[in-house]
């Protein structure tokens, strides 16, 4: 079922102003609508009580207000991680995860339905590419969880692009979504509370660096061995480790911001002391932090995550070289929280 109506979340503030101007409505209608959407998370246009009734009806005829339908939600055993599979208007599937940790309420959201980059250990990569999301479809994921959290007087504190897809392969829409989420007139989430995670499209890292944005950047590095990295992540053939790290140095020089390298530690594949020393050597002098995440198992990748003691030994090697390092918990492993796992399972079953 495809709607011809555009999604209201796809509009910029000035596009919304233009819309009301065309309707001969006063300029403050844009602000009223923006506040209803992004501060009160209204999803039914008829609930926007600050607008006249006939204008609400008109808006409802002209725009779609939700854009995604939750198909399935599962919770981790401890209830702290919630993962939802959504269907978009054209039937494309995406998923997003809410993680509660201390005071943080972090959303892991998708930028594409499926992904064409084919990383061998990734459930989304194993599904293939369906399509890019619009900025509104990206924003709608955040608004869905903001609405859910508001029911318990909680709010979204952080957003990371680590769900389905490579955000820099959908650069324009992702940047537009970040702008909308950051807009202080509406949702107002601080730039430093949002993170783009990329597999390393070097030219896009440079483009992003040139914006001098305060949004965090994380790079899924996994290894500095080109041969192994190309096996794990075919994109490495296009942007080998040296060119990727050059782009990372450019980013740090340009922004003076610390970037994060993510390593999915895979038992017996990229987790030896020699691997750690090679990584430490390559990252010397770069303003960075390394996150080590024992790999989430997926249906079609036979390897498992590294045991904790090996992850600790890996971390020790990095810290001896003054490279800050954290071992991250595999949160939500019991609900297949790795990106794409729920949608991939759903496709397998359909």
Interface residues with ligand SF4 (CB under 6 A)?
115, 117-119, 122, 124-125, 164-166, 199, 339
Residue 125 CB, nearest distance to ligand SF4 (Å)?
3
The question of whether 95 is a catalytic residue gets the answer yes
Max CA separation in the chain (angstroms) = 68
Residue 86 CB, nearest distance to ligand SF4 (Å)?
16
For residue 341, give the nearest of 33, 51, 97, 105 by alpha carbon.
97
User: E strands along the chain, which residues?
Assistant: 68-75, 81-88, 93-101, 104-108, 112-114, 129-132, 158-161, 194-198, 216-220, 259-265, 288-294, 325-327
User: Would you put residue 3 in left (φ > 0), alpha (ψ -120 to 50) or beta?
Assistant: beta
Identity of the residue, 121 or 145, whose beta carbon is nearer to ligand SF4 in the bound complex: 121
Identity of the residue, 186 or 340, whose beta carbon is nearer to ligand SF4 in the bound complex: 340
- Catalytic residue of the set 17, 95, 137, 148: 95
Residue 246 has which token pair? 């050059």
Identity of the residue, 137 or 166, whose beta carbon is nearer to ligand SF4 in the bound complex: 166
Identity of the residue, 119 or 283, whose beta carbon is nearer to ligand SF4 in the bound complex: 119
Helix and strand element counts for the chain (H, E): 12, 12
- Catalytic residue of the set 119, 248, 325, 339: 339
Residue 67 CB, nearest distance to ligand SF4 (Å)?
21
CA distance 123 to 299: 7
Question: Beta strands 68-75 and 81-88: pairing type?
Answer: antiparallel
Residue 290, Cβ neighbours under 10 Å: how many?
Answer: 22
The question of whether 320 is a catalytic residue gets the answer no
Residue 110 CB, nearest distance to ligand SF4 (Å)?
9
Residue 95 CB, nearest distance to ligand SF4 (Å)?
11
CA distance 196 to 190: 14
Identity of the residue, 119 or 149, whose beta carbon is nearer to ligand SF4 in the bound complex: 119
Residue of this chain nearest to ligand SF4 (CB atom): 125
- Per DSSP, the three-state class of 54 is helix
Question: What are the residue numbers of the active site?
Answer: 95, 339
């Amino acid at each position: 079922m495809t709607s011809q109506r555009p999604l209201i979340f796809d509009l910029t503030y000035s596009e919304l102003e233009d819309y009301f101007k065309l309707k001969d409505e006063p300029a403050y209608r844009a602000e009223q609508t923006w506040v209803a959407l992004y501060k009160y998370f209204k999803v039914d246009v008829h609930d926007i009580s600050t607008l006249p009734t006939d204008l609400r009806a008109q808006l409802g005829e002209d725009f779609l207000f939700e854009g995604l339908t939750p198909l399935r939600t599962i919770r981790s055993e401890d209830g702290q991680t919630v993962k939802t599979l959504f269907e978009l208007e054209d039937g494309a599937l995406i998923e997003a995860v809410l993680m509660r940790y201390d005071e943080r309420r972090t959303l892991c959201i998708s930028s594409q339905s499926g992904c064409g980059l084919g990383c061998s250990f990734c459930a989304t990569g194993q599904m293939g590419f369906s399509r890019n999301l619009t900025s509104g479809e990206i924003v709608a994921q955040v608004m869905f969880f903001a609405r859910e959290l508001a029911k318990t007087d909680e709010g979204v504190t952080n957003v990371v692009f680590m769900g389905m897809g490579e955000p820099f392969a959908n650069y324009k829409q992702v940047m537009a979504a970040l702008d909308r989420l950051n807009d202080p007139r509406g949702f107002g989430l601080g730039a430093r509370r949002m993170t783009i995670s990329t597999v390393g499209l070097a030219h896009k890292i440079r483009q992003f660096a040139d914006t001098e944005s305060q949004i965090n950047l994380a790079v899924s590095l996994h290894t500095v061995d080109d041969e192994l990295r190309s096996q794990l992540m075919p994109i490495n053939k296009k942007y080998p480790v040296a060119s990727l790290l050059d782009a990372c140095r450019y980013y740090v020089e340009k922004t003076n911001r610390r970037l994060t390298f993510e390593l999915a530690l895979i038992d017996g594949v990229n987790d030896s002391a020699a691997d750690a020393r090679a990584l430490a050597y390559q990252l010397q002098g770069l303003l960075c932090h390394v996150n080590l995440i024992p790999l989430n198992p997926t249906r079609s990748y036979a390897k498992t995550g590294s045991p904790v003691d090996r992850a600790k030994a890996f971390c020790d090697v990095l810290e001896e070289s003054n490279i800050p390092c954290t071992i991250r918990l595999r949160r939500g492993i019991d609900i297949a929280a790795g990106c794409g796992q729920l949608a991939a399972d759903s496709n397998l079953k359909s």
